[in-house]
Amino acid sequence: MSMMEKDKELEELFLAQKPKFDDKAQFMERLTKRLDAVEYIKQYQEVTLRRYKMAIAVTFVVGVISGATAIGFLLTTPADVPLFTFKVQTSFLLWFAENSRIIVTTAMSLFVTLGVISIYDNVLDILRMRTNMT
């Protein structure tokens, strides 16, 4: 069945329907309730979009501040002094202490990457919600 045939069938179906408006006041009351419900949903979606935008802005600012603080801390401490020291000297803890700068930098990079990906995903969700509203 082609698209044109389906459109023709739908047109015939709609033309065959003849709604009866026995009580105009009751019809208007139901129509008004439905329009109010649609307006309520639109307002709720707008509030949700504003909350998402605010959350994204706050997350971005907190990420920039915490990233700058962490990088500043790593750059101001001496390079030959490990970030962590342990009282017990096992081979793993010694290796961890010697490579603590690389480990911390890698962990921070992964954390920032995860944050950027989640913010990007939230922005895409907001854009999808906005296109669905229109």
Residue 9 lies in a domain: no
Contact 85, 100 (CB under 8 A): no
Residue 24 lies in a domain: no
- Per-block mean pLDDT, blocks of 10 residues, the chain (134 long): 67 69 76 86 83 80 80 76 73 81 81 80 77 68
Q: What is the pLDDT of residue 108?
A: 80
Count how many domains the chain has. Answer: 1
The residue range of the domain holding 62 is 43-134
Residue 5 lies in a domain: no
Residue 76 lies in a domain: yes
Contact 52, 122 (CB under 8 A): yes
Residue 97: CB atoms within 10 A of its CB come to 15
Which are the contacts of 56, defined by CB distance < 8 A and separation ≥ 6?
A: 119, 122, 123, 126
Residue 81 lies in a domain: yes
Residue 130 lies in a domain: yes
Put simply, whether the predicted model's pTM sits higher than 0.85 gets the answer no
Residue 55 lies in a domain: yes
Q: What is the pLDDT of residue 22?
A: 66
